[in-house]
Structure 1
């Protein structure tokens, strides 16, 4: 069984098959730290699962708005986008918390917070906390991960 482990302190996402690591990628979690509260812009902790996937056939750098590919493609950059936009690119793996009161339900619901694993044009910031709560990856890495994990894959974030 495939599972994903996100280590916030290490800014690392590792894909496991059972107990064996298959692939490890640098990632970027929230610049505001860890937390599950709605409106906090923090990366939620605990156990989640991949419940939706978006991006089949979308080119690297393809921009999504409300989980729909816009047709726009943006190149990767080394620093923060001057406009302050938090663009979602290439692929989306939408997460749902599975721990009631921790990351599911009420004011701590990861699904209702639209927590994703997704690509970003701000590839130069990968490896440092820079997101608004989601788990960002380089476009090539998120495309690779997307192909490897089915819906229902367990995700642990700590």
Structure 2
């Protein structure tokens, strides 16, 4: 009687084990076949995108597209030669400068906010053509200027032999026939410091080039006796 009972229990246990294994296989099969197709396709597409090369855009989002041009563009002066366009910052600095010419010691002083930042020797007007005293403003600047003699009317073209050198900074208009008074260079620097000009302020070429960069149209010029 005990043996029969034990066999029955063993059969029940084996049936439970078999049923459990069968149920586990059924659940696994059902789960794998009932997966959402959309999720599966999305996963496949994501895998494809990971191996796809990125397209390079010609424009960067959020950045200003700068044209292929030089930041400093050349502009023509009155004589047809070129000069670099001045930046707004440079113009602000130059507009804060002012020039004082002392005829007694024949020097040009450049001030910036009441401090002398440069000093240059200068020639002044000879007897009968004295350099005018007073307060003026720079009227115009010119590279490689031509010059017309105030008496003979002869015109001297730009070049190494020009009486004005290669820079002109005009600050006073004399008359329609006599032109302007201003700073300029010279082909003969040995005369700088003497009373030899027709009223202009004759400077060494290197000095007038520096002054040219330190002033702008409108810069104050005061000539003192």
Scaled by the length of structure 1, what TM-score is found?
A: 0.69
After TM superposition, the structure 1 = structure 2 runs for residues 26-105 of structure 1, keeping only pairs within 5 Å, are: 26-32=121-127, 40-55=128-143, 58=144, 64-65=146-147, 70-74=157-161, 87-96=163-172
Moved over 4 A (4+): none
The alignment yields a C-alpha RMSD, in angstroms, of: 2.2
Deviation (angstroms), 1:65: 2.8
> Aligned residues, how many?
121
Are 1:9 and 2:104 matched, yes or no?
A: yes
Deviation (angstroms), 1:121: 1.4
Scaled by the length of structure 2, what TM-score is found?
A: 0.49
Deviation (angstroms), 1:134: 0.4
How far apart, CA to CA, are the structure 1 residues paired with 2:199 and 2:158? 25
Structure 1 residue ranges without an equivalent (≥5): 33-39, 75-85, 97-108
Task: Tell me if structure 1 keeps the 8 A contact 2:147–2:164.
Answer: yes
After superposition, give the CA deviation of every residue in 1:9-49 in whole Å (9 maximum; x if it has no partner): 101000000210010000011121xxxxxxx4220001011
**Going by fraction, where is helix more abundant, 1 or 2?**
2
How far apart, CA to CA, are the structure 1 residues paired with 2:203 and 2:124? 9
Q: Which residue does 2:196 correspond to in 1?
A: 130
Task: Tell me if structure 1 keeps the 8 A contact 2:159–2:165.
Answer: no
Distance 1:111 1:118, change over 3 A: farther
How far apart, CA to CA, are the structure 2 residues paired with 1:91 and 1:72? 11
How far apart, CA to CA, are the structure 2 residues paired with 1:64 and 1:73? 11
Q: Secondary structure at the match of 2:141?
A: strand
Structure number, greater radius of gyration: 2
Q: Which structure has more RCO (C-alpha within 8 Å, separation ≥ 6)?
A: 1
Distance 1:110 1:16, change over 3 A: farther
Q: Secondary structure at the match of 1:142?
A: helix
Task: Tell me if structure 2 keeps the 8 A contact 1:64–1:89.
Answer: no
Deviation (angstroms), 1:139: 0.7
Q: Secondary structure at the match of 1:89?
A: coil
**Going by fraction, where is strand more abundant, 1 or 2?**
1
Structure 2 residue ranges without an equivalent (≥5): 1-95, 149-154
